Each structure stands twice: as C-alpha cells, then as structure tokens.
Structure 1
Amino acid sequence: MNKHQKIAQCFSPAAFIHDTEENYLAIEMLIREQEIGGLTFFHSRHSAAANFEERAEILAVSGTFEKMIGLINRYQTISKIPLLISIDGEYGLAMRVEKTPQYPFAITLGALKKDAEKWVEEVGYRMGLDMKRSGIHINLAPCADVNTNPNNPVIGYRSFGDQTEKVARLAFAAYSGMKKAGIGACLKHFPGHGDTATDSHLGLPILHKTKAELEMEELLPFQYGIDRGVEMIMVGHLAVPALTEGKDIPASISRELINDLLKGEMGFKGIVISDALNMKAVVNRYPEPGELEWQAFYAGNDILCFSDHVADGIEKIAQNASDEEVDVVFEKVMNLKKRLGVMEFQPIEIPSFDWESHSQLQKALAESYVSVISGNINPAELHSLAEAGKLGYREYFTTETNHFIKQLDFSFSPIDQAEKVILAVFVPSHKPLNQFGMDQSVLEGIKELAKSKPCILIHFGNPLALKHLGELEDLEAVICGYQGFEEVQGVVAKTLQGL
C-alpha cells in the first residue's frame, strides 16, 4: 500500500443513517476513491451533535435500525479493506437509533447501591452485544469525565458522578463489559470534560486548574484505566493551559497533551481517537481544508473522527508526516481491525432483540438505584389517607396517562380535598438547557403546592434537575427515579405501597 492509502485508514468520517441518496453516493466515493478506514454512524445531519431526547419530536422518521444495517452492508461490500464501524452510543444503540434497547444513563448507574461495578459491566456487555450483532465494531464510550460542575452543559448525565474514584471504577467496568462482548470501547474525553462550563460542540471550554489538581481529579480515571490495560482513549476539545505552557489550545490537537502527557508520562500505549473534528471548538481555528486533520495527526491521534475534509486531510498528512510516522499509525489501526474481527466481514442479517431479558435487567437495576433521597415514606399512612379520600395525585410534563398511576393501588381525591399529595414529575429533557425543558410557570406551581400542604415528590429524570423544583425541606419526601422507564415507575409504585 502507498502512503496515501495507509493514511486513509486513520479516517472515520460521519455517515448519516437518514440522508439523501446523493450523500450516500458521496460516502461511496470516499470509500472507493480515498479508501478510508472506517465510518462513524449518526442518526441524521440534524441530530449529529445532539442526543436522542432532544430530537424525538422534531424528526418523524422510521426504520432507522434496518436502514443502518442496510448501509453498513452496502458500504462494506465496496470497500477493499473492511471498514471499522463506530457509533457513539453511551446508553446503547438507542442514543442514535430508535426502537433499540436503551440502558440507563451513566449518572443513573452511578446511583447503584449494590454491586455497582458488576452491574455496570453487565450493562456494558449487553450494550456491546447489541452493537456487535448490528455490524458495529467500536462504541465511542464510556465517559470517564468527573462531573464536578453541576452546571456543565454537555456532560451532566453522561458522567458516572462527581466522585473521582467511583467514576474511575465504573468507567472501567463499562469499558470491560463492552470489551467482553467483543467490541472496542474508549474512555473519553481526555483530559477530562467534567468541570467545564462551555459545550465543546459550540465553543472551546477552558479548564483553569493546576497540574496537581488535574492529577487528583480529571486525569485519575484515565490513569486508572491505563494501569489496567485500556486500549483506546478519545481526546476532547478542551483547553488546559496548565498542561500546554499557558496556551488555550484544544487537547485534541495538542502534542504536549497527547504525545508528552498521555503517551509519555501516563504510559498509554493504545489507540488515540480524536473527538469529532467538525466541532466548533476546533473547526474555526484552521480555515484551510486539511490543516486541522494534519494538526490532529501530528498531535498524536491515530483515528480521526468526523473529518469534513478527508481528501485534503490525507494530502496534508502525506506532505508533512514521515513514512515512519505513517507506518506506526497504520499498523496500530490494522492491528485493531484484526483484533475486533473487522477483516472477516460477512453481510449482516437484521438481528432481533430479547426485550423480555432487557426488561428484567432494567427492573433489577432500578431496584438498586431508585432512592428515597429526602424524608421518609410511610406506606401504611398513604393507604389509610387514600381510603379516607384524603390523598391527592398530580403529574407534570406528561401528555398521556402513564404506567405509573396504573401501578398505584390508591384511590385519589381532588387536590383541594387532599391532606397529602403525590407529585410525579417526568422531567422532559436530560440536558440542562431551559431548566431541563421544564416550564417556569409549572415549576412555580409545584413550589406553591409544596408549601401549601405535605407533598411527596417523585422525580423521574436527571437528578441535576431537582434544583429547579424548590427546596427539598419544603417537601415531606423525595424519591429519585433517575429515568422514566416503565420498570422504574413500577419500582417507585412498590416503594410507595410498601410492597
């Protein structure tokens, strides 16, 4: 293979499942003419940098899963060397593909009260099996970010929490589960995106910490993984001036951070993957097509994700990199392909999912993470209030009668006649934008009701949204469900009924 062909193996541009035929043909051209090494699948152009809950109501599309399998088969068939297929599925295929198994968010798994590492590894394993059966070789997950900034606009529910040691253990457990399933996984976003206030999809986050502070917090989960043989790490688009001689340069294109710190001081010998090279944190720095790709390669990235300028990038790297540098990276990518079974491509049949087994797992997990986080629940009192016509119920941010109220064996009375009220809040979004999608006037109504009579709040959603629901002291008790899954609703209903 010539130099250009070897460099092309580093490229994994975006492939959109819902797209035009013209764009599908453009991907085919990249495969045929540039001989790229892989593809990273996204739902659609509209949603490329967004997570699933933000776009469900905007896009009316169906058959995503079947379409993705069809595209993987179509693209693999025409590639001389089988393609390395990646997806960013932190909570499973469902992060990008409807009607596929969704697993709990990292923040939810961080709340597991018993055998957390065992359960998180099992979740990683199940997620990995879903992907492997679907023709995917790498899940660009899990996050090893420590979410110490509760107002972080981009990490939040994607992190296992704000305790460094716990994040280190659970991120490694998730990684290990995926590896056990036979796919690749990567810790991200090195050197740690948890204590930032800017979304790197939109701008450059800058982390103002000393190296000693970073080693105690941000870097620790990555070092924990490296010491245990983690084979892949994704580098994020965030600047850490303390590690780059005071420069505000994104880690993803910083030779000091990747080559000197990650590979040198921290001893990482595996594959380095760049975060998406179309993100605003980096894309505006190098207007000349191909220059960003060269900078990312020079900094020490082995796989270049989501490049918008593949041909120019290959050309620039070929001009600037030595044959020896190219060979080293090419060997790493080819060895990865062999390890993950990429080279033995067979057309994929559309797999079916074991939904019953998935639901049993969800229930077992919910029984461990659903928590009474404030006050106490007295089921006997709730039953007697219901029998006396003194128990009220109100739910928020739902459009239809849900599973939860059907599980409750209580007779409810109008709020004005009730002595006590159960408030079920189904948080609309897991992202902090616009108060997690909660309308301010509705929030005010919840706070007023909590002050007027004893209330039990059931919080189905990201626990970081609790701060918008008033003072916990104003509520008699708070149950955090973390998610809105039906299995979670069932567990909460049993908690209220003392079952």
Structure 2
Amino acid sequence: MGIRRSVALWMIGSLVLSLFSFPVFAAQSDRTSDPVSLLKQMSLEEKVGQMMMVGFYGSEPNADITRLIREAHAGGVILFAYSQNVVNPVQTAHLTNGLQSLAQETRLGVPLLISTDQEGGVVARLTTGATEWAGNMALGATRKAAYAYQAAKMTGEELRAVGINMNLAPDLDVNVNPANPVIGVRSYGENPQLVADMGAAAIHGYQENVIATGKHFPGHGDTNVDSHLGLPVINKSREELEKVELVPFKRAIAEGIDAIMTAHIHVPALDNTPDLPATLSRPILTGLLRQELGYRGLIITDSMTMAGVANYFGGVPKAAVKAVQAGADIILLTPALKTDEQIEVYQAVLEAARKGEIPVEQIDQSVLRILKVKAKYGLFEHRFVDPADIPDHVATEQHQRTSMKIARSSITLVKNENNLLPLHLKPDQKLGIISQFSLIDRVRSYHAATTEIYHSQVNPSDADIQAAVEMAKTQDVLLVGTYNATANPQQVKLVKALQQLHKPMVVIAFRNPYDIEAFPDVPAYLTAYGFRSVSLQAAVETVFGDNQPKGRLPITIPGLYPYGHGLRYDWNDTDATSDQLSTSQMDANGSKEDRLQELDSSK
C-alpha cells in the first residue's frame, strides 16, 4: 500500500477516533462565546491586541505580563526557557494558569494562546521533568511516519497538560544546504517528499492536543545566513521552489494545519522588492499563501526581534505594521523587546488600523481566525489545567519508552572500517572519551577502564586540544563526540590532532551529520542527530553493540555518502519488532499508528 493511500486511510480513522479521544483537562465554569458574536463585541483596541503574541521574563505572572495583557490586550503569550518562563512542568502549569486568570479578568475574558517551541531534539523549551525527543532529522533517519506521529502526539499531550496550547512546530524546511546555520537537524531531511510525509504525520499528532505551526514559510532550508543575525536570500526560480521548498507546506495545508509561521528570508522569485523579508511581503503571504495555495488558517510571524526583519524598514513597530499589511494574523514578540517596546509595537499597529492603513475588514478576518482556533481547541471551556494531573500526562513510562525506541532506530552508522564497531574491548584495554557532551557514566556500564575529557566549549582552546591529545596517548581506543564540526574549526583541529596518534577511533556527530566532511578518513563514524539524553544513550548502546544501527541518512554528505546510506552490523537483528510498532506501544484508543505504514524504502 502506498504511503499516500495509507495516510488517507489513517486520517479517516483518526477523524472517527478523535471524536472520542480529545483530551479532557480540568474543567471550569467560564464565559463561553461564539467567535462571530464575540468579534462584534470587541473594540478596535481589543481586536489588535488579539493579534499580539508577547513575551516576558519570569517564572510566574508579574507586572510586565500583566501590563501587556491589560494595556495591550495581548491575545497570546510565548514561553521560553531562557526567560525563566519554563522551568519544570508544575511551575509551568501554575504560570499558564496565572496567565489565563489575567486574561479571564479582562472585559471579554478571551483565553490566551500560549505557545512555545517544542520541536524536539535541539530545539525544546520544556526539558526538565518532561520527555526528551531525538528531533526531526533523527525521525527522518528512521523513515517511519508512525514515529513522527507518536512523538508529536505525546509532545502535544505533555504541552497541553502544563497549559501550553500552541506548539511552534513542526519545522517543514527542506535542509538542502549543508551549510545552513539555523535549520540543520531541525529539518526531517533534504528530500521534499520525506519532509512532507513526516510533517503531515506530525501535524495530526500535535493537533490531537495543541495547535500545530508549520515553519518557516516559504522555506528556510537553502540558506547560509542565520535570520537571527541577518537577512538570508534564496536565489531560486519559482519552478525550483515548487519542486522543493513549497512541497511540505502544500501538504501541510492539505492536511489541515492550523497555523503557519513566516520566514525572515528574501525570495526575489516571489517578491523582488529589495531586502524585503517574506514576513513583510504581501505577494508571498496573501498572494501565494492565501490566494494561490488556499490556506485558511493562522499566519504567525517568526520573532519580529530577529535581525532578518528588525534591521529593515525602520525597526520592529514599523515592520510589524508592514507584516500585518502583508497578511500576518499574529505578530510574534519576545522578551528581547522590553515591555514598553512591545506596547509600542501594539500601538503602531493600532494607529495604522485607525488611519485606515490596515483595513478594519482585514483586522476582523485575522481576529475571527484567532477566535475560531481558540474555540476549536476548547480554550473557552478548558483554559486552566490541574497540576495534580501532570504525572498522568508528562514524562510517562510510555512516552519515555517510545522516545528511547525512536532514538535507537535513528542512529546511523555511516562508516565502519575493518568492522571496528561494535567495540569489543578486553578488560585491560583503555578507552578514552573526548566529547562536548559527557558520555562516561553511560560508557562505564560497558567498559570500566575509561577516561574522559569533557570540554564545554563548541570550539575547544589550543590548551584543551593539547590536554586531549596527551590523555589520548595513554589510551588504546578513542571515542570522540563532535558538534557541527564543519562550522567550528577548533573541533576539526582536535579530531585531526587525535588522528595523528593512529589509534582506533570512533567519531559520533551529536548534531548535524555533515561533520565527517572535515575528516573523511576517520575509521568509524556514527551520527546521532542530537544531544538529548536519549540520543546520547542510543549512540553509546550502538557503539557497544546493544543496539543495531537502523538509521539511514536523510541528507547527502557531499562527495562522500548519498542520501539513504546507512550500514548495519554483520549480525542478525534480534529485535523482532524493530520495523513495526508493537501492540504494547499503542495507546488506549487502539492503533492510529497502525494506519501509518513505514515510508517506502526508496525515500
């Protein structure tokens, strides 16, 4: 059965099951309103406020966020770990309840959209006390859409349990540029159909519990500039964009995704206005996304504080006005802007609406979309959560078991000269570890005679390198962890210095899988696609033969290894369920996952 047909059958079944499986959280007597009638009651000030998603510093509601909700009528809040919004599940639940209480006390009591970036892998805000996931490129390496669905469903359940109702995921970028500094392993891979299939499964998984947000439209995968720091330019024809970047977004729209995030990238083939980011382009947001692709959900900007948009067109307030004029429904702000500055953004959009620079009809359309999605996810009736229920939904045994299984299935053995792996060390052989991420506790359960040098810097100093070499001289075998080595010359210098010792050496890439480009003659090379605990554990298990490497490259390593490459050990895999989801892993609703077949091996 083809993947498209199997997904279609799964969707029909999911629709039936969803009638009985939408999560029930702490109910409360609350004002409820029909979106259309509620819109009619709103002042222009309240309408514009609904279009603001704001940020603040603090682990509990404070004066800053109170001002933004009361003075700017903010309809949404974004949470980060760096701003201390997200510390642990119980704290987060109390915070979101407090935020929703502030919103409930406003004139109309409209509940908040509360969002975060919980992509999994390297981008995750809620980590302490929550399930850690291997991430999108790891999922791409498994080639199993069922895994993408499961990870998203369980992630969404955990977010909703702590009061977060909108996830800024999945990433639908096609990572065709190995030098991409901002996407990389956040993408499912370089194949547009793989990204589309995995993304579609994730969308349905997320949207059983929270709003999914596909990003970054029209596609951030072929950039070599970080839009946090500058404005990337995509110099591709419209035909090329149709074949690659737009494929996953078209699929997401067909699957009913509720939100799409814009990209701060300049795409001359879609809008040749000089230095104009897609976020501020009406031909891209309204012309292409709304009119040509027929998208009816929410359009949310990427953070308006990023240099790719904030440094152009007169700063954030003016850029925000231009984004709304282009067709954005929600302006995303972060704590990088002080509270007064975020209020200035709100006031700039409000003033533009008062002057007719933004038609009131357009404002009404955006706010109606926002209210409808809040109603769809039951926020008027179930805006609060019960912290006592968290253990039943967050970091459960089932979630952690599934996460570990996915991580194990993702590990990709790229090179294995003379069958160096799996390691079979004699008790008196010395193993030396040099890594940015500590592995020694995991490794010592396999081999006691182990020494580790752990360096916390992405680029180790010359002194760090010399210390690692001196330690390595006394070892029999070396295990080296790298992290985006191709972009960090001191890591490359370290690996090459260790190679000069001519010891058996295994390199594990703990982020982008391209590191071997910088040292192609290392004897053995694994890629784990991330540094979360499950990826570290799965990588160590694979090194010592407790896990069969099943992953296949979801990208090409230029000049070395093709898309789809992946070695296995020369022994039978005793895990009878390695390519199927066992019945013990199905949830109580049955087997939605069964309807997602393994992706065709040609992908």
Residue 425 of structure 1: aligned partner = 480
Q: Indicate which of 140, 156, 164 corresponds to 1:110.
A: 140
- Post-superposition CA distance 1:389-429 (Å, at most 9, x none): 5x5422112586623312325767996687x62x32233x5
Q: Structure 2 matches for 1:281-430, cutoff 5 A?
A: 281-287=308-314, 290-306=317-333, 308=342, 309-319=345-355, 320-350=357-387, 351-352=390-391, 353-375=394-416, 378=419, 382-383=423-424, 386=426, 389=428, 391-397=429-435, 402-409=440-447, 421=477, 423-427=478-482, 429=483
Residue 370 of structure 1 contacts residue 481 of structure 1 at CA under 8 Å; is this kept in 2? yes
The Cα shift of 1:487 comes to 4.4
Check if 1:444 corresponds to 2:474.
no
Residue 17 of structure 1 contacts residue 67 of structure 1 at CA under 8 Å; is this kept in 2? no
Amino acid at match of 1:164: P
Residue 168 of structure 2: aligned partner = 140
CA distance in 2, matches of 1:486, 1:72: 27
Q: Structure 2 matches for 1:141-220, cutoff 5 A?
A: 141-180=169-208, 182-220=209-247
CA distance in 1, matches of 2:320, 2:473: 64
Shift in CA distance, 494/276, structure 1 to aligned 2, threshold 3 Å: closer
CA distance in 2, matches of 1:497, 1:443: 21
Shift in CA distance, 291/448, structure 1 to aligned 2, threshold 3 Å: same
Residue 4 of structure 1 contacts residue 318 of structure 1 at CA under 8 Å; is this kept in 2? no
The Cα shift of 1:141 comes to 0.9
- Partner of 2:215, secondary structure, is strand
The Cα shift of 1:365 comes to 1.0
CA distance in 2, matches of 1:405, 1:184: 40
CA distance in 2, matches of 1:213, 1:105: 27
Shift in CA distance, 129/17, structure 1 to aligned 2, threshold 3 Å: farther
CA distance in 1, matches of 2:94, 2:506: 48
The Cα shift of 1:269 comes to 1.8
CA distance in 1, matches of 2:70, 2:280: 28
Shift in CA distance, 174/15, structure 1 to aligned 2, threshold 3 Å: farther
Question: Alpha carbon RMSD of aligned pairs, Å?
Answer: 3.0
- Partner of 1:74, secondary structure, is helix
Residue 254 of structure 1: aligned partner = 281
Q: Structure 2 matches for 1:262-281, cutoff 5 A?
A: 262-281=289-308
Shift in CA distance, 459/202, structure 1 to aligned 2, threshold 3 Å: closer
CA distance in 2, matches of 1:376, 1:355: 40
- Post-superposition CA distance 1:105-127 (Å, at most 9, x none): 212111115xx100011000111
- Post-superposition CA distance 1:371-393 (Å, at most 9, x none): 2211267489954x626x5x542
CA distance in 1, matches of 2:304, 2:187: 22
Check if 1:231 corresponds to 2:261.
no
Residue 456 of structure 1 contacts residue 477 of structure 1 at CA under 8 Å; is this kept in 2? yes
- Partner of 1:43, secondary structure, is coil
The Cα shift of 1:71 comes to 2.8
Residue 131 of structure 2 contacts residue 400 of structure 2 at CA under 8 Å; is this kept in 1? no
Q: Which moved more, 1:396-405 or 1:328-337?
A: 396-405
Residue 290 of structure 1 contacts residue 314 of structure 1 at CA under 8 Å; is this kept in 2? no
CA distance in 2, matches of 1:479, 1:93: 18
Residue 94 of structure 1 contacts residue 101 of structure 1 at CA under 8 Å; is this kept in 2? no
CA distance in 1, matches of 2:225, 2:257: 28
CA distance in 2, matches of 1:96, 1:382: 35
The Cα shift of 1:441 comes to 4.4
Shift in CA distance, 304/382, structure 1 to aligned 2, threshold 3 Å: closer
Residue 51 of structure 1: aligned partner = none
CA distance in 2, matches of 1:460, 1:287: 39
Shift in CA distance, 143/32, structure 1 to aligned 2, threshold 3 Å: same
Residue 77 of structure 1: aligned partner = 101
Q: Structure 2 matches for 1:14-163, cutoff 5 A?
A: 14-18=55-59, 24-45=62-83, 63-79=87-103, 80-91=109-120, 95-99=124-128, 100-113=130-143, 116-163=144-191
Amino acid at match of 1:407: S
Amino acid at match of 2:296: K
Residue 431 of structure 2 contacts residue 449 of structure 2 at CA under 8 Å; is this kept in 1? no
Amino acid at match of 2:507: L
The Cα shift of 1:97 comes to 3.4
The Cα shift of 1:493 comes to 4.7
Shift in CA distance, 490/198, structure 1 to aligned 2, threshold 3 Å: closer
The Cα shift of 1:463 comes to 1.6
CA distance in 2, matches of 1:4, 1:497: 62
Residue 117 of structure 2 contacts residue 123 of structure 2 at CA under 8 Å; is this kept in 1? no
- Partner of 1:233, secondary structure, is strand
CA distance in 1, matches of 2:447, 2:535: 16
Shift in CA distance, 93/208, structure 1 to aligned 2, threshold 3 Å: closer
CA distance in 2, matches of 1:93, 1:342: 29
Residue 273 of structure 1 contacts residue 305 of structure 1 at CA under 8 Å; is this kept in 2? yes
Residue 93 of structure 1 contacts residue 101 of structure 1 at CA under 8 Å; is this kept in 2? no
The Cα shift of 1:358 comes to 3.4
Shift in CA distance, 230/366, structure 1 to aligned 2, threshold 3 Å: same
- Partner of 1:404, secondary structure, is helix
Shift in CA distance, 43/26, structure 1 to aligned 2, threshold 3 Å: same
CA distance in 2, matches of 1:188, 1:477: 35
The Cα shift of 1:128 comes to 0.4
Residue 54 of structure 1: aligned partner = none
Shift in CA distance, 208/485, structure 1 to aligned 2, threshold 3 Å: closer
- Partner of 1:85, secondary structure, is strand
Structure with the largest fraction of helix: 1
- Partner of 1:34, secondary structure, is coil
CA distance in 2, matches of 1:362, 1:379: 28
CA distance in 1, matches of 2:121, 2:381: 24
The Cα shift of 1:327 comes to 1.7
The Cα shift of 1:283 comes to 1.5
- Partner of 2:131, secondary structure, is coil
Residue 111 of structure 1 contacts residue 369 of structure 1 at CA under 8 Å; is this kept in 2? yes
State the number of aligned residues: 466
- Partner of 1:15, secondary structure, is coil
Residue 294 of structure 1 contacts residue 317 of structure 1 at CA under 8 Å; is this kept in 2? no
Residue 380 of structure 1 contacts residue 498 of structure 1 at CA under 8 Å; is this kept in 2? yes
Residue 512 of structure 2: aligned partner = 462
The Cα shift of 1:104 comes to 1.1
Shift in CA distance, 487/14, structure 1 to aligned 2, threshold 3 Å: closer
Shift in CA distance, 246/318, structure 1 to aligned 2, threshold 3 Å: closer
- Post-superposition CA distance 1:29-74 (Å, at most 9, x none): 12112222111112235x9xxxxxxxxxxxxx99454443333222
Amino acid at match of 1:434: N
- Post-superposition CA distance 1:451-489 (Å, at most 9, x none): x24433344443233334x11xx3333233333455445
Residue 5 of structure 1: aligned partner = 46
Structure with larger RCO (C-alpha < 8 A, sep 6+): 2
CA distance in 2, matches of 1:197, 1:493: 32
The alignment-based identity, stated in percent, is 29
- Partner of 2:433, secondary structure, is strand
Residue 526 of structure 2: aligned partner = 479
